[in-house]
Structure 1
């Protein structure tokens, strides 16, 4: 299932930027799209090597990661279970999870904070299970995301990605440094207090000195923390207006949780003359478009 690929690299027209491109990882798969595909690639490989047949993971009621894991498990002949944060509901996302055969365990928010305990409580004596953290955060996920760099032009000046946990950004930075590129990685945290992303990225760097440099503020990693629009899954009219205009103008669907905030940041920075004329800028479209269904009342015209 996780065969080699090279998703499209598409040019975007922009009033100020002549070299604006988007890496269309949203087109990888309708249900295991974008960075979900990248993250799960080596997670499933590790599970197979360890002989595990049951994937156990975590997420909210509108988690794209849960749908991706459920789909990946079904296609691989594996069982899947998910701990769902919060009260029992049945929405479009969880329906897809169930259709793919995933078992759902609804967990109160306080208990959910201690994921290892949730896992141990239900599966301590089951050697067949494989723990997958929320969003797929892991060294295997970083490895998968690092491979994106080999699919991009080597002469990029700037690469943008949205971030929730920092796993995808950690992979991109690893790929850039391994290839010896001069590309600067721009990370747009989608939640308040996004500065913690630096520390999360540093956790995946084996060299302590390099990790400390990243946390302190390395020149090849720039965080733009002012584009969260109120916090995770929060929106404002300005963001929704931008999202509608972008989607209608380019024919590329983006979501208000992640990718709309990233593209808004690029647009706003261009308005401020942040970029030098002729610089080549790329944005990673990380998929996750099913999450739009959880915000349809806000998005509706």
Structure 2
């Protein structure tokens, strides 16, 4: 199922007469192009087709959900895909990396660059070099966030979600929460749980969001992007055992940890109805477990 209309179930996690919490299972859309990646790619793929492009070029790290999703979607729709990957040192280890190996098996060509070059990836000179090397391509930004991605993410919220007081979602580049904000209903509050340190994402979100009914909860990043500790691992494993829902450790796991902690701290008013968005990202678990094994830490089950 690629870029068709989909009905996503809302699983009840908590309903104790004081607080109601449900999870919108965007991860269930597709096993590999799931959650917000499905939403972000939908209109970008359509635009690439209408523009007559034959190649998609995008950026990402070694375990990027976005890289895996673009490779899979590109294969499905007949595009050549190019992934500009952060870290030249990874080039000899791609086969040992489950995300990159998956992307390569789905036809993605890699271009490994230094971390310094990667920081300047949108500079005109760097983009010109990419054009000279790979020819004409359709550019999808890192993480997939642009106006078309936001348009796709607006479809996460539907009329059936009108009864919720709060909608919570993980935040990476800000595209998903922007779409949710734009599609939200009157009197709803949108809470974003960044996977990165700091409050800087507010500026990026404000570029796309057309309402002011939102805020970022910045206390649950666990040290920053891709950072994880044993408390979070235990929470994710216990959550799966209790509710039979797998959470990813980068985004949704941190958000649900935060929501449950805030409920315990009585952050939400009595009678609140909360909807949490599961944005997918489960393909990254195998790569995270490689890292945890090297660190001699408990694994995600």
- Within 2, Cα distance between the matches of 1:14 and 1:104? 47
Report what 1:74 is aligned to: 75
* 1:300 lines up with 2:299 in the alignment: yes
Contact 1:17-1:270 at 8 Å conserved across structures: no
- Within 1, Cα distance between the matches of 2:188 and 2:33? 27
Report what 2:186 is aligned to: 181
Which aligned pairs between 1:103-142 and structure 2 lie closer than 5 A?
A: 103-116=109-122, 117-124=125-132, 128-142=136-150
Report what 2:221 is aligned to: 228
Pick closer, same or farther for the CA change 1:229–1:126 going to 2, 3 Å.
closer
- Within 2, Cα distance between the matches of 1:73 and 1:29? 15
Normalized against structure 1, the TM-score is what?
0.90
- Within 1, Cα distance between the matches of 2:133 and 2:83? 17
Deviation at 1:299, TM superposition (A): 4.3
Contact 2:17-2:271 at 8 Å conserved across structures: no
- Within 1, Cα distance between the matches of 2:159 and 2:70? 24
Contact 1:255-1:288 at 8 Å conserved across structures: yes
Report what 2:206 is aligned to: 202
- Render the CA deviation track for 1:263-289: whole Å, top value 9, x for unaligned: 011111111111222211010000001
Contact 1:59-1:83 at 8 Å conserved across structures: yes
- Within 2, Cα distance between the matches of 1:15 and 1:236? 29
Deviation at 1:181, TM superposition (A): 2.4
- Within 2, Cα distance between the matches of 1:72 and 1:172? 23
Contact 1:43-1:141 at 8 Å conserved across structures: yes
* 1:30 lines up with 2:35 in the alignment: no
What is the total number of aligned residue pairs between the two structures? Answer: 286
Deviation at 1:9, TM superposition (A): 1.3
Which aligned pairs between 1:1-301 and structure 2 lie closer than 5 A?
A: 1-13=2-14, 18-86=19-87, 87=89, 88=91, 89-90=93-94, 91-116=97-122, 117-124=125-132, 128-150=136-158, 152-176=160-184, 180-193=185-198, 195-205=199-209, 218=212, 220-296=213-289, 297=292, 298-300=297-299
- Within 2, Cα distance between the matches of 1:125 and 1:99? 22
Normalized against structure 2, the TM-score is what?
0.90
Gaps of 5+ in 1: none
Deviation at 1:119, TM superposition (A): 3.3
- Within 2, Cα distance between the matches of 1:227 and 1:38? 25
Deviation at 1:236, TM superposition (A): 1.9
Contact 2:230-2:298 at 8 Å conserved across structures: no
